[in-house]
Each structure stands twice: as structure tokens, then as C-alpha cells.
Amino acid sequence: MIRNLTITQLAENAASSPGLLGEHGASFFIEADAHCLLLDTGQGLTLRHNAARLGIALERVTAVALSHGHYDHTGGLETVIECTGGAIDLYLHPEALAPKFNRDGRSIGSPTTDLEVLRPRVRRLIADTGPIEIRPGIQLSGEIPRRHAIEDTGGPFYRDAARTEIDDLPDDQALIINTLAGLVVVLGCGHSGLINTLDHVRTLAPGRPIHAILGGTHLLRAGTERLDFTVGALAGFGIDYLAPNHCTGLAATCLLRRSFPDQFHESPTGTVHRFGAAA
């Protein structure tokens, strides 16, 4: 169990104070007891600048986990490798570096596309589809079962530029940190669906309450039915701390703020979240 947890929003669409930069993307700098890791790396346009401005030494990072393979979450990986000299453990789904395209046929995949080229440039490369422990008390969810059909990926997304093959984003996964207060769930985009993700988290840590949710929930194109479903189901989890951002979308963010006013927190670049003994 992690006693002291601090999560700093290192990259996000908006910035919280002068001198910081926003970009469409997400990256979380996570200090969990003695461990420093990143969930996602943003596009890479602001990572080094924001880290320096926030007094964060990227050289301290010993592990990087990728929530999925889109460019706005993987683009800063090269920066992290440079800053650490490659002395990192890299965790990702085997399909995270596969080609990915949006509804217009534009490539939105990772700038790095070859696992075998990447492998010798890091200390360890762990490409796995299942739940995997990064450190005691910190794990990746692995592939998330899609139990609720109402929760689509927020796409459509495709595996080819001609848009003939749907990409269901099986590489989408969440980071789960077991703290004194309960589980802290950090999402990149939540393409599997927020409630699908939380249901899966419960199966991975039965009996542990979900204390906090941070990150993207990809509700920006969700209709009224899905938004109502999300709010109703989320209420049943008894969440204490809710910080949606990035791809959540304005309408969904406002709805979540109205529905959970005491639990809601903003999380632009530079925001620091503290849990456990660090709170």
C-alpha cells in the first residue's frame, strides 16, 4: 500500500498559472512513496518546459506507463528517454504502437511505432495485455472488459487510413494506486468507458473503495443518455475525489461538477493532487 501519493498534472489542455504551457494531451508525474513514474507523456511539446517550471526533475522517473497509443499521450516518450538516459521501465499494451487513425483518416498514433526498435533504448520494455504490477501498490489494469454497450470509445477510430477497420482501442488501460484512503484511479482517456473501467478496477481490488478518479473520460461527444448513465452509475461508487480533464469535454465536465460539487476538482497543467499521508 502506498502511504504518500502526490500526482502533478505535467501536461494537459490548459495551464493553471503563468509560465506553464497547455497542449492537447495528458501526462501525470506520480510520486508514490519513494517511486517516481509517469502515466503518459503528452504530445511532448510542453513536457520538458513544464517539468522545469514546476521544479520536477524528469531524471527521477524510473517507470513510464502508457494508457494507450494515441499521439497526445505518447509523443513525449522520446523526451523522457533523453532525460533519463533510457533508465526506465516502460509499460504498454502490445497494440499501443500500432497504426491509429481518426474519423477523417488522419494518423493519430504514436510517433514511435516499432517495439523492437524501442526495446534496446529503455531498461525494460513490458508489453502485456493483462493486469501487471509496476510496484507494490501500483498496477496497470490491462485490457478493460466492455460490459456496458452504451460506453463506446468516443470515436469512431480506425486501424487504417482508408477507415475500413474499426479500432476498438484494446490498448486502453488505467493506472490503479492503492493508498491509505482507498484506490486512486488515473485515466489517460478512458476509451473503454469510465464505468467499464471502474467495474474492472473493482474486480482487480475486491473490497477496496475507489477513493479518487483523475484524468480523461472521453465524454466530449457523449449524448444525454450516456451522460445520464455515467452520472447515475458513478454515484454508486461513492467517489470522494473527482478530477476529470483533457478529453472529458465541456458539457460533461460541467455536468460532473454540478452532480458532484463536493468531490469535483479541476486539473489543468500544474495542478498537484495529494492522497494518503501526503494529503
Q: Which residues pair with 126 in a beta bridge?
A: 91
CA distance 225 to 108: 28
Show Cβ contacts of residue 224 under 8 Å, excluding neighbours closer than 6 positions: none
Q: What CATH number is given to the structural domain containing 212?
A: 3.60.15.10
Q: What is residue 178's predicted lDDT score, i.e. its pLDDT?
A: 98
79-104, pLDDT tens digit by residue?
A: 999 999 999 999 999 999 999 999 99
pLDDT higher than 90, residue 31 = yes
- What is the predicted pLDDT for the residue at 66? 98
Number of domains in the chain: 1
Which value, in Å, is the radius of gyration of the alpha carbons in the chain? 17
For 236, counting Cβ atoms within 10 Å of its Cβ (0-12 exposed, 13-18 middle, 19+ buried), the class is exposed
Q: Tell whether the model's pLDDT for residue 278 goes beyond 80.
A: no
Burial class from Cβ neighbours inside 10 Å (0-12, 13-18, 19+) for residue 238 reads exposed
pTM given for the model: 0.97
How many other C-beta atoms can be found within 10 angstroms of the C-beta atom of residue 54?
17
For residue 158, the enclosing domain spans 4-276
- For residue range 164-197, what is the model confidence (pLDDT) as tens digits? 999 999 999 999 999 999 999 999 999 999 999 9
Question: How sure is the predictor about 279, in pLDDT bands with cuts at 50, 70 and 90?
Answer: confident
- % the chain with pLDDT above 70: 100
pLDDT of residue 276: 84
**Are the beta carbons of 78 and 44 closer than 8 angstroms?**
yes
Helix, strand, coil percentages for the chain (3-state, nearest 5): 25, 25, 50
Residue 277 pLDDT exceeds 80: no
Can you give the pLDDT at residue 236?
A: 97
What pLDDT is recorded for position 159? 98
How far, in Å, CA of 91 to CA of 125, rounded? 6
pLDDT tens for residues 109-121? 999 999 999 999 9
Per-residue pLDDT tens over the stretch 240-264: 999 999 999 999 999 999 999 999 9
- In terms of C-beta density within 10 A (0-12 exposed, 13-18 middle, 19 or more buried), how is residue 266 classed? middle
- pLDDT value of residue 171: 98
